Structure 1
Amino acid sequence: MGQVGTGPGSAAGTSSGSDGGAARTPWRFARERWSQRRFAARQLGELRPYAGRGLVAGTVAVHLVAGLAPVAFMLGTGLALRDLGSDAAVGWLALAAGAFLVQQLVAPVHSCSRAGCSVVSTRRASSGSRRSRCGARHSPGSSGLRSRTG
C-alpha cells in the first residue's frame, strides 16, 4: 500500500514505490528533508514580490524563533538535569523556562503567520494581476468598472 503524500511538501515517515517499501535511511531522510526545505524556500521567494519584504522577513523570523525555542528548551532542561546538584542548574532551568515561555507566546503567531502571509500575498497577487490585465485604464484604487456614458 503506497503513501498518500509523496511530493516535496510531504512529511511521511516511510517510503514507497520501487524500493519495495523499505524504511528510509537517516541519510535518505536528510536528503529528502533538505529537498523539501529548498522547495519551501523557493516558494517563499516567489511570494516576496506579492507579499512584500517586511511580511516575508517577519514570517521567516517567526519560523526561526518557533523552530529554535523547543531546541533551547530541551538543551536547557538536559543541562539542568546534568548539573542538578550545583548552582549552575538554576541558570539552565531559567533558560529552559524562558524558551518554554517564548514557545508558548510564538505558537499562535506562528500559525497565524503561515495563514496571514498566504492571505495577504494572495490578495496582493490578485490585485497585481487585475491591474496588469486592465492596463492603464484604471487607477490602483478604482473598482475596475468603466462608467457608461450616453
Structure 2
Amino acid sequence: MRTLWAVSVVSVLCAVAMWVFAVPQLAFSGAVDVGPFFGLMMVLPTLIGLPCAVAGAVAGTVCVVRQRARNWTSNLMTLGQVVTVALAVTIVVWALAFASTGWELLALPTSLMVGQIVVAAGLVKAGRPRMSRSVSASS
C-alpha cells in the first residue's frame, strides 16, 4: 500500500510538470514546441513517470488481488496506473508493429498525462483529512 502511494505521488508530479509545460503552449500556439526545456519538462518526467506507473500498477494489482486495498481511493490509484501503462503499451505497439515511421512515440508522454488524472483524483481523496466527530464526556 505504501509503494502504491509513493509511486503514485512521483508519477503524478511528473504528469503535473508535463501539463504545466504543454498546456500554455497548446493554448497559445496550438503545438508543443521543442525548445530548451523540452527535455527537462517532457522527456525526463516520462522516463521517471512511466516506470513508476508500472510499479504502481503491479503494487496496486497485488493489493487488490490480496484484498488489502479495501478503500476505493487505492482502487482508483490502481486503475489510473493500469490505464497509464495500457496507454503506453498501446502507443509503443502502434509505433513498432504497424507500418509506421516511429514518430508515433512522440505521443508517449500523453499516456502519462491522461492516466495520471485518475491517480491524482485518488491521491486527493486519500489525502483529505477525515472528518470525525469527537464525543466528549460532559460532567
Higher relative contact order (CA 8 A, sep 6+): 2
TM-score by length of 1: 0.35
Structure 1 or 2, whichever has the larger Rg, is: 1
TM-score by length of 2: 0.37
Q: Which of the pair is proportionally richer in helix?
A: 2
